[in-house]
């Protein structure tokens, strides 16, 4: 049972950090494909079908701002953190470090077979 659930649980675990990973790469303006490449190079590949709608949702929530640029050939929509987005990014980063420390402690000292 747990064996069968592993991919889903791992996916959910990963899903929790997608927003933070995305925000981390939008301190400077990037367009969707470029952002996806940057995330993949950083070890966090995200499916395009997940990432592109996420950018729009974050923009709707006023976490990101965007603008069309056509100076490099094809028209591309560039996203960057808004003022609110920068504040959110800071808060989520602190939460992430807190969680990371807590999980380190729990995984190291958690049980008899803790590794």
Return d(Cα 69, Cα 13) in angstroms, integer. 35
Residue with tokens 């649980």: 9
Parallel/antiparallel/unpaired status of strands 64-69 and 76-81: antiparallel
Q: Which stretch binds other proteins (CB under 8 A): 9-17, 22-30, 70-78, 91-99?
A: 70-78
Give how many residues touch other proteins by CB under 8 A.
17
Q: How many CB atoms lie within 10 A of CB 76?
A: 17
Residue 80 within binding range of other proteins, rule CB under 8 A: no
Residue from 28, 70, 105 nearest 114 by CA: 105
Query: Of residues 30-59, which lie at the interface with other proteins (CB under 8 A)?
Result: 31-33, 36, 47-50, 52-54, 56-57
Smallest separation (angstroms) from other proteins to the CB of 26: 15
Q: Which residues bind other proteins (CB under 8 A)?
A: 31-33, 36, 47-50, 52-54, 56-57, 74-77
């Amino acid at each position: 049972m747990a064996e069968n659930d592993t991919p889903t649980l791992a996916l959910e675990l990963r899903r929790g950090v997608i927003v933070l990973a995305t925000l981390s790469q939008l301190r400077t303006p990037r367009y969707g494909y470029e952002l996806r490449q940057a995330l993949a190079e950083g070890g966090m590949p995200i499916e395009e079908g997940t990432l592109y709608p996420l950018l729009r949702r974050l923009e709707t929530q006023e976490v990101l701002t965007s603008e069309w640029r056509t100076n490099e050939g094809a028209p591309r929509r560039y996203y960057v953190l808004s003022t609110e987005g920068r504040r959110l990014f800071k808060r989520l980063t602190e939460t992430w470090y807190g969680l990371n420390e807590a999980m380190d402690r729990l995984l190291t000292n958690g049980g008899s077979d803790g590794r």
